[in-house]
Amino acid sequence: MKVTLIQMDIVWEDAAANRQTAEHLILSAEKSDIYVLPEMWNTGVTAEPQGVAEDEDGETLLWMKRMSRELDAAVVGGVAVRLLDGTYRNRLYFVKPDGSVDCYDKHHLFTYGGEAKNFVPGGKRVTVEWRGLLFRLSICYDLRFPLWVRNTDDYDVLICSASWPAVRTHAWNILTQARAIENQCYVLGVNRIGSDPVCQYIGGTTIVDPYGMPTTCPGGETTVLTKTLDIKRLKSFREKFPVLKETDVVCRVFSAADSAGGDEG
């Protein structure tokens, strides 16, 4: 499977401009099965979504559906969403060419940055099947919580859509590699560049293989990263070195409780 990650600058609170940039970058990339964008790529990450959040059927989701249909590929990206009950979610959409949409609401809100004041956390882990592979969805701060993204032999690729500040780049590099190693999976870590009113970002968008070896975008550049995932190699590695079948009991219990369902937020 061929994947393309979009490392882009984000114009603050200008969804139309950001959609235009994203479309240009996607169309400039190699033909892929999936294209992944950063966290809140259409507006920039904000702890105060009242002025920028879109409805669940907003313009950005419609754009993602159009792009997915025209490219015959999945399009993945994060958006601030306003629900009918008036609450807000930091949501990651996984859009398929047939118009179907899976969504994951960020579970670990970034309290340090004030995100928990206005957003409601999601309460369920989400795994999506696409062209024979299983993708686990996560957003930015989730990367720091290994139990939440623990692979109990139920996914192949972990997607982390992020706006990870430059000051914590070392942590980003280490954590994306650690999540790949401990979960015997590919990690698609997509980060933005540029700045917003609070932070600076230098990217570091990366594809990490199950051995923890990264292929990373140049820092600070608007660019795309395309790579073919070697699924045969992944499956062979898991068979020869069965880490996922030796998961600690606490992880198995957590996974069972999660799969039984739970309230959102």
Q: Give the residue numbers annotated as catalytic, written as ranges.
A: 39, 106, 140
- Distance in angstroms (rounded) separating the CA atoms of residues 214 and 225: 12
Q: Is 45 exposed, middle or buried (0-12, 13-18, 19+ CB in 10 A)?
A: buried
The structure tokens listed for 105 are 């609401």
Contact 4, 225 (CB under 8 A): yes
Contact 219, 191 (CB under 8 A): no
- Distance in angstroms (rounded) separating the CA atoms of residues 172 and 206: 10
Contact 130, 136 (CB under 8 A): no
Contact 58, 92 (CB under 8 A): no
The structure tokens listed for 125 are 């882990």
Contact 44, 196 (CB under 8 A): yes
